[in-house]
Every structure is written in structure tokens, then in C-alpha cells.
Amino acid sequence: MDTTWEPTAPGVLRLPSGRLVRGRGLRAGPPTGPAPTFAVYLLGAPPPPVDWESRWLPWPDFRLPRDRAAVGPLLREVWERAASERVEVACGGGRGRTGTALACLAVIDGVPPAEAVAFVRRHYHRRAVETFWQKRYVATFRPAGLDG
């Protein structure tokens, strides 16, 4: 039984490896279709409870994550689980923080850091990664353990 997203579902980004990750804005409410099996919420305050496994990464709107050391391991988990699960990454609006995290996932998946923002804008949302600092964060993103 396939437990990943449908490639054409709203907000689903296909990484070069074929892994599918859904990005979305929480303010828009839950989309129709299946729920995620795992989610990461990028918010300035704790997210509301959900019926699936989730993690909260404290990340204020228009800014960078508060605990930058936690980003690489958490996004690596997202990338690994996306091979066989419905994984979601979400923030309030679904563009800035979510786009930044998706661009970092693209780096983990092999997209050069200098091309990751353009990749996410082309395949997820044309206004993903909203601030200069978010763009710079992606361009310099080098998570540990990329060798395998």
C-alpha cells in the first residue's frame, strides 16, 4: 500500500529523488484528502494538537529558526520519512518558512544550495522563501550527514 502523497495533490513538491513532501499554510485550513502521517510545523508559538505524529520547530514569521542546530537533523528526518510516508511541512502562510524548509530539503536531496530557492519557486510556489535572510540561509545550508 502506497502511503505517500499523490504527486498532483495541492502543495506537493516532488524532489529530484522522487520523494514527495506537502507544503502548506495552516491559516488556510486543512486541505481535502488524506492527512499526513508526519508533520513539521514552523511557527513562532506551539501549534494546535493534531491526530498524527508531529514536531514543532520554533520559527518566527519572516525570520529564521530559533534553534538552527535542530534544523538539519529534523529536515533529514522529513526527507527520510518522505520516501514512504505522507510528510507535511507547514507554517502560517505556507510560503516563507515552509518554502525555506522545502528549499533546504531540496539541498538534502541533491539540489545545489545556490539553485534550491529557484527549484522550490518553480515546483512549489513562485513566492516561496520570502526574505533576504531566508534566501541566504538556504544558500549557506549545509546539514551534517549529507554523505549518505
87, 38 Cβ separation under 8 angstroms:
yes
Asked if 65 and 59 touch (Cβ cutoff 8 Å), the reply is yes
Q: Tell me what pLDDT residue 3 has.
A: 85
DSSP 8-59: TSTTEEEPTTS-EEEEEEGGG-PPSSPPPSEEEEEESSPPPP-SSEEEEEE-
Range 12-140: architecture per CATH: Alpha-Beta Complex (3.90)
For residue 21, report the phi and psi dihedrals to the nearest 5 degrees: -130, 135
Q: Residue 120: pLDDT band by 50, 70, 90 thresholds? A: very high
Name the residue among 11, 23, 22 with its Cα closest to residue 96.
23
pLDDT at 111: 97
**For 83-98, what is each residue's pLDDT tens digit?**
999 999 999 999 999 9
**Which pLDDT tens digit goes with each residue over 122-139?**
999 999 999 999 999 999
Query: Residue 95, by phi and psi: left (phi above 0), alpha (psi -120 to 50) or beta?
Result: alpha
Q: Where are the domains of the chain?
A: 12-140
Beta-carbon contacts of residue 101 (< 8 Å; ≥ 6 apart): 23, 40, 42, 71, 75, 78, 89
Confidence label for 148 from pLDDT (cuts 50, 70 and 90): very low
Tell me the pLDDT band of 145, cut-offs 50, 70 and 90: low
**Across the chain, what does the average pLDDT equal?**
94
